[in-house]
A and B are shown apart, each in its own frame.
Chain A
């Protein structure tokens, strides 16, 4: 197969490792007559180099000692658990083997879970030759990837807090940043998770007039009962565990910038105290009676809709107007066009340096997968994916095999589970329910709202489809 090479900078340098046989490890079943009967006799004609492991411990030893491309694992009674175990066990295994799970009567729930986990396929037992051939074809397809050089990154954009991106949406952000940086105005940064709110806050601080430190507090991370003392400090013995006097973040940020991230996660009581600190420019340590003057520039950020939170009575309107003197809204990664490439290049070089690897190319298939991904976690998720790839890459090219299973599960051109056959209504419904549940993080109430059905109906359907 010849795929048109995508040119990013200069002509692509083709690299096509020739694979004559696919190395397959079959686990479970029996080597002789049994549900995998036929596997040995098809091995030669399908170009399979086959090894058999009778049980999990032996399979683990073989996986550790060799380079495999495909693992055929027979699942038992606890198929869901076993599937998760296999996905976990194959993570980081040499050769990045794909998993084909084999089960007696695979449920729709199992198939959908497998899809979500990035399993190549779930096949019914007894194994059929055509089904195996199709799985092998998909494994082979991954070996025809073409390497494309990564774009060069502006040297200035490679610092620890540098902002990478030239999309129109980001240029708008830069303009706003430039406008507010030289003032001491309070700034509210809005944007989905992982869009770089803290990076923007740091950059504003670095280019601003304040000479003091930049202090960041993550309001979502800190347990509610500790957040107050984290922000305002406490006196020794103020509560159990207050083993010594603690200087809070407001004081630590004196003369500088205090960045309150995920501010919507704060309780109303604490919001009132923040408001007082902003208005009065003084704070009180927990367990202390003295008012302490503080001079800080406040930058707040959230990924929530604050107007909605105000309407629901979960966020103080007066605090909102105090914080939103200037509002900067950060774009989602999927709305940043070719910034994706620049960011891939940036992170590939950053992590290449960290892990002592020279990464200068990306395969066409890997790029396609990265472009097609939804990036719920935006730049943070991309950074994580590239770091993980940088750890496992052995030469200078990031390929699809280096990407996480859930990304690989979206390989373009991959047929639906029921190849060539249109899905039944039940299959389509199950798939859609699974997608919505994934979107709501498993919350049934929210999923039922989106689907427009009663939660009891949804629960019944989930049970029916084994979701």
Chain B
């Protein structure tokens, strides 16, 4: 049975989300279909799922679910016990711990629920450190969910409290959080001010990890602003910081190398870029394997190949990322992969590529992904329709993307969408001014 048929029989209930995940991750492509004319358009919905195999795989998944819920129950009981012993900071730590467990399995809204409870308790304490910790955790999740304004409020409060308490680490993390929020909203000068502030605070100490993280962010910022030489310097310094940690920062190293790859790509140096991405993948593999990061790096590698016209290799890389995203339940990554596969088909002038955007939208909605993801799909879908026919649809999709970006306050993207819409208008009104 096809996944798309199986999903229709599964109600959208929170309790069944692990089953939904299992259904997707156990789906296999049919080899005959892979080589069929539908093969180039295969998405997870067109994979096969075998009820018997699904039943057999349920045991370990149910075990994981029980373990996760057990850990949440445990955290809650610990919070109660701490509270009874008048150890409210300990109770906050236990509640934040539960939120982090939720984050680890990608349940961001549920994590926010724990943080809200922790925050309410932390606000009653004289010691402000638990509150700072909770505010920072809340800010991070808001950022991940694309709730930028809300995230900024939490970081701002964490900063004020940290500075009042001479909590340098808290102030640095809050500044970085504010910088990240500004970065996501394309507020470059704001982001730079926050990162610079964090850098000043960190340089006084010898915290190589935080220093490396800030240098990395500054590198990303310079790249976005077009100062590629400065970006290269920051990324080199970030790498030096992480190298000094003797392999204890493998994932951070992978992220910096990923950024280096993107920088090399922007500099028109595809070979070093590919080398950096490959090394980044090796760092991910070296440490605790982070499937989400692995998928991200592969997507960047695929974008590089796509940009240099190496379509076959780009598609192979996307398909490898897809396989990894499916087996490791990285649904958000899957959404990005299908958006990119749709873009690839658009470059090839292949109209049937629209199936990838439709699958990305369906996945994004089914899993209640952040609105920024949906906006990006519509943006790419609109551009695809401009090239592959369907001007009315192109306009409608771009307008939808613009609305979402506007609601999130991402002005740079709003402007980009507006430019695409103007372009669409120009293309569709050739008679304008032509007499």
Q: In the complex, are the beta carbons of B320 and A88 less than 8 A apart? A: yes
Which residues of A approach B to under 8 Å, CB–CB?
Answer: 55-57, 59-61, 63-64, 81-82, 85, 88-89, 91-92, 192-194, 197-198, 218-226, 241, 243-246, 261-262, 265, 301, 303, 376-378, 380-381, 384, 387-388, 391, 438-439, 441-445, 455, 459
Instruction: Give Cα distance in the complex from A378 to B36, angstroms.
Output: 9
A59 contacts across to B, CB distance below 8 A:
282
Cross-chain contact of A56 among B34, B56, B286 (Cβ < 8 A): B286
B33 contacts across to A, CB distance below 8 A:
193, 220
How far in angstroms is the closest Cβ of chain B from A34? 18
Using A57-B286, A85-B285 as known contacts, list a sample of 9 further A-B pairs with CB atoms less than 8 Å apart, ordered by residue number in A: A55-B282, A56-B282, A57-B279, A60-B278, A223-B362, A265-B38, A376-B31, A441-B30, A459-B56
Q: In the complex, are the beta carbons of B38 and A221 less than 8 A apart? A: yes
- Chain B interface, >50% SS class: helix
B395 contacts across to A, CB distance below 8 A:
244
A226 contacts across to B, CB distance below 8 A:
355, 358
A-B contact count (CB 8 A): 143
How far in angstroms is the closest Cβ of chain B from A326? 20
Instruction: Give Cα distance in the complex from A380 to B35, angstroms.
Output: 7
Interface string of B299-342 (1 = CB under 8 A from A): 00000000000101100100010000000000000000000000
How far in angstroms is the closest Cβ of chain A from B304? 13
Number of interface residues of B (CB under 8 A): 55
- In the complex, whether B76 has a CB less than 8 A from a CB of chain A is no
B390 contacts across to A, CB distance below 8 A:
244, 246
Instruction: Give Cα distance in the complex from A261 to B50, angstroms.
Output: 25
- In the complex, whether B91 has a CB less than 8 A from a CB of chain A is no
- In the complex, whether B409 has a CB less than 8 A from a CB of chain A is no
Q: In the complex, are the beta carbons of A193 and B36 less than 8 A apart? A: yes
- In the complex, whether B281 has a CB less than 8 A from a CB of chain A is yes
Can you give 16 contacting A-B residue pairs, CB < 8 Å? A55-B282, A56-B286, A89-B278, A89-B282, A194-B36, A221-B38, A221-B40, A222-B41, A223-B355, A223-B359, A224-B5, A246-B393, A384-B312, A441-B32, A443-B30, A455-B52
B310 contacts across to A, CB distance below 8 A:
391
A445 contacts across to B, CB distance below 8 A:
50, 52
Q: In the complex, are the beta carbons of B34 and A377 less than 8 A apart? A: yes
How far in angstroms is the closest Cβ of chain A from B428? 13
Q: Which of A220, A224, A301, A438 has the most CB of B within 10 A?
A: A220
Instruction: Give Cα distance in the complex from A422 to B355, angstroms.
Output: 50
Q: Specify the chain A residue showing the minimal Cβ separation from B276.
A: A64
How far in angstroms is the closest Cβ of chain A from B223? 22
Which residues of B approach A to under 8 Å, CB–CB?
Answer: 4-5, 28-43, 45-46, 48, 50, 52-53, 56, 253, 271, 274-275, 278-279, 281-283, 285-286, 289, 310, 312-313, 316, 320, 352, 355, 358-359, 361-362, 390, 392-393, 395-397, 400
A243 and B392 in contact (CB under 8 A), knowing A221-B41, A387-B312, A443-B50?
yes
Q: In the complex, are the beta carbons of A443 and B278 less than 8 A apart? A: no
Q: Specify the chain B residue showing the minimal Cβ separation from A388.
A: B312
Q: Specify the chain A residue showing the minimal Cβ separation from B47.
A: A441
Q: Specify the chain A residue showing the minimal Cβ separation from B56.
A: A459
Cross-chain contact of B285 among A56, A222, A380, A384 (Cβ < 8 A): A56
Q: In the complex, are the beta carbons of A243 and B393 less than 8 A apart? A: yes
Q: In the complex, are the beta carbons of B28 and A441 less than 8 A apart? A: yes
A57 contacts across to B, CB distance below 8 A:
253, 279, 282-283, 286
Cross-chain contact of A261 among B37, B42, B286 (Cβ < 8 A): B37
How far in angstroms is the closest Cβ of chain A from B396? 4
How far in angstroms is the closest Cβ of chain B from A113? 14
Q: Specify the chain B residue showing the minimal Cβ separation from A58.
A: B282
How far in angstroms is the closest Cβ of chain A from B359? 7
Q: Specify the chain A residue showing the minimal Cβ separation from B294.
A: A85
Q: In the complex, are the beta carbons of B28 and A377 less than 8 A apart? A: no
Q: In the complex, are the beta carbons of B46 and A221 less than 8 A apart? A: yes
